[in-house]
Amino acid sequence: MMNTLHKGAQSFMSLAVLAALSYSQISQATAEVSQVEVRACAALQFADFSKLEGGEAAANVIKSRFVQSYTMSDEAANWAYKYSRLMGAPVDRAAKDLPNHCLVEGYVTPTIRFQLRLPARALWNQKYLLNACMGFCGEVSPYPSMAGIIRKYATMSHDGGHTAYGFDGKWARNNEQLKIDFAYRANHVVAVVAKEIMEKYYHSKPQYSFITGCSKGGHAGVMAAKRYPNDFDGVIARGPTINYTDVNLVNCMDNAKAILDHNDQPILNLDDVAMISKAVMSECDGDDGIIDGVIGDPRICSFKPATLQCEAGKVKNCLLEDKVAAVNALYAPSLNSQGEEVFGGLPYGSEPEWLGWAAPQIPQLKPFYYYAATEYLKYIAYPKALDIDYDWRDFSYEDERQNLAEVSQFMNADDPDLRAFKQTGGKMLILHGWSDAAVPAYATIDWYETVDEFMSQNQLSVRDFARLFLLPGVVHCGIEGPGPSTYDALMALENWVVGGVAPDSLLTKKEDKSGKVVRTRPVFPYPLSVKYDGKGNTNKASSFYASED
């Protein structure tokens, strides 16, 4: 009886394969793409991926189809272009035609959805690129993989193991597995699955593998280097939320308390942010020797919010006392009861991004700091979710630190011991914008110095495998800040991984709305800073040099 059922199942699968490989599908093939390749793509949905890592990375391909002569819509092309810049892997702004490729969609158990685009066999550069999801994850975006295949990488994106929107943490309520997937497991298992799919499709695995991402996606690369040092040859970590607990429950929590009154109403508004931003720029723009709308190094800025406080009897074009107090709190670092710094404050120059983070974009919303802090606190931070009516203002990080430890130990990526990653030959580029209002660059600098200290104690140099670049005027996971925010980190990383050439500088570009490059400027590995030579064109990179000052 069982043998009969087995034969019946085989017959059913044979019919299914024939249906999947119908003439209408195969006829899309041209002289450049053989029918064999089209069939191989379609057949992926019938392959067995249930035994990967002993079943721990069991996966299923739901759909696989060969995409040929595909032109993106203007909207899709625009988003793919934006994502390419966000990923540090920019493509031509005018690019709309995708290379012929196999589009694969599926999931890894229990609920990690992914999309993988495989360039046609003749086009593939033998490399794999994973774009790690950012924020609280929750969706499979098609745009990173579109951007990646334009550069001929087999490119993947995923949802982190759950469905969500924005700063939504409800998916994690009392669900340890989803938290673990979100923290670190998802990026590992999708990489395992992607490489196996590539083995079946190309008959070879990638020669090199890279992971890139911003915010939580930057955290993902650092976490992978620590937990799975053999997964990726290269990591691009932009604006990384390395200590994820501190980012949400110290940085965002303290900022939320500073900018909301006791009725949880915003203290700052659009006009306030514009005024503060203008005043800071007026005070500090020239500190680097150039007036260019960019604060080169916020650490030397000496702006005082009190200069904007209203005089007696005035209420317009100035800040009332409660607003000044809120601004001071944003710039100030978070301290513990011993007066020790726990998390750095917002840098001067981050004000262009305050609308959204520190002041609501629309009246119906609260600032993003509030959502990041309260959703993480209620649903993610503890093994068992807090009471639904818990008052977030009662939370004290210092009092709760021990209770937070259980989740923090697998959620945070701040362990400085990256020796295993270095020993595998792995390389890492850490990028952080000085105008980042979500995750101040100071936190990344502190982490990098901790790694440097640890490696030095073990007679190793962090600069041999990981370099930090601080980008003036660049915001958090955005490309519209005042500074040059287009750079090819992927090429620099690949030159380091494949060619052995360490990046001593990174060329950044500023584009206008039409895509024309209007400014180029170098940035150098921390602790080096960029200095103007005092005589050259300030819009040209050749007019700047590296300085140890």
Q: What is the pLDDT of residues 349-371, one digit of tens each?
A: 999 999 999 999 998 999 999 99
Q: How confident is the model at residue 380 (pLDDT cuts 50, 70, 90)?
A: very high
Q: Considering the chain, what percentage of its residues have pLDDT values greater than 70? A: 94
Residue 20 CB neighbour total at 10 angstroms:
17
The confidence score (pLDDT) of residue 8 equals 35
The confidence score (pLDDT) of residue 131 equals 98
Query: Which residues are CB-contacts of 102 (< 8 A; sequence separation ≥ 6)?
Result: 37, 40, 41, 44, 64, 65, 66, 67, 117, 118, 120, 201
CA distance 537 to 277: 26
Q: What is the pLDDT of residues 280-293, one digit of tens each?
A: 999 999 999 999 99
> Positive or negative CA dihedral for 537, 538, 540, 546?
positive
Phi, psi at residue 114, to the nearest 5°?
-145, 160
Report yes or no: 211 and 218 within 8 Å, Cβ to Cβ.
no
Q: What is the pLDDT of residues 481-533, one digit of tens each?
A: 999 999 999 999 999 999 999 999 999 999 988 889 999 999 999 999 999 99
Beta-ladder partners of 530: 546
Token pair, residue 208, equals 């090199």
Token pair, residue 309, equals 């406080």
* pLDDT mean over 323-338: 96
Query: Which residues are CB-contacts of 104 (< 8 A; sequence separation ≥ 6)?
Result: 41, 44, 61, 63, 64, 115, 116, 117, 118, 197
Residue that wins the pLDDT comparison between 1 and 254: 254
Query: Per-domain residue ranges for the chain?
Result: 39-246+412-499, 247-374
Query: What is the residue-averaged pLDDT of the chain?
Result: 93
536 pLDDT more than 50: yes
40 pLDDT more than 70: yes
Q: How confident is the model at residue 25 (pLDDT cuts 50, 70, 90)?
A: very low
203 pLDDT more than 60: yes
The confidence score (pLDDT) of residue 23 equals 32
The confidence score (pLDDT) of residue 31 equals 39
236 pLDDT more than 60: yes
3 pLDDT more than 50: no
Phi, psi at residue 143, to the nearest 5°?
-75, -40
CA distances from 57 to 2, 104, 134, 156, 408 (A): 28, 17, 22, 16, 24
Report yes or no: 132 and 112 within 8 Å, Cβ to Cβ.
no
Lowest mean pLDDT among 11-15, 134-138, 216-220, 389-393: 11-15
> 459-482 in b/e burial notation, b at 16+ Cβ within 10 A?
ebebeebbbbbbbbbbbbbbbebb
Report yes or no: 89 and 148 within 8 Å, Cβ to Cβ.
yes
Phi, psi at residue 13, to the nearest 5°?
-65, -35
**According to CATH, what is the number of the domain 39-246+412-499?**
3.40.50.1820
Report yes or no: 412 and 247 within 8 Å, Cβ to Cβ.
no
Confidence (pTM): 0.92
306 pLDDT more than 90: yes
CA distances from 538 to 63, 534, 535, 543 (A): 51, 9, 8, 6
16 pLDDT more than 70: no
Q: What is the pLDDT of residues 395-426, one digit of tens each?
A: 999 999 999 999 999 999 999 999 999 999 99
Lowest mean pLDDT among 17-31, 132-146, 350-364, 503-517: 17-31
Q: How confident is the model at residue 32 (pLDDT cuts 50, 70, 90)?
A: low
> 212-223 in b/e burial notation, b at 16+ Cβ within 10 A?
bbbbbbbbbbbb
The confidence score (pLDDT) of residue 138 equals 97
The confidence score (pLDDT) of residue 325 equals 98
190-194-197 Cα angle (round to 5): 140
Residue carrying structure tokens 């589009």: 103
Q: What is the pLDDT of residues 63-113, one digit of tens each?
A: 999 999 999 999 999 999 999 999 999 999 999 999 999 999 999 999 999
CA distance 525 to 466: 10
CA distance 22 to 32: 20
CA distance 438 to 404: 22
Residue that wins the pLDDT comparison between 215 and 8: 215
Q: Which helix (H) or strand (E) holds 455?
A: helix 441-457
Q: How confident is the model at residue 549 (pLDDT cuts 50, 70, 90)?
A: confident
CA distance 451 to 460: 10
CA distance 487 to 207: 24
15 pLDDT more than 60: no
CA distance 129 to 342: 34
CA distance 117 to 142: 9
Token pair, residue 181, equals 């997937």
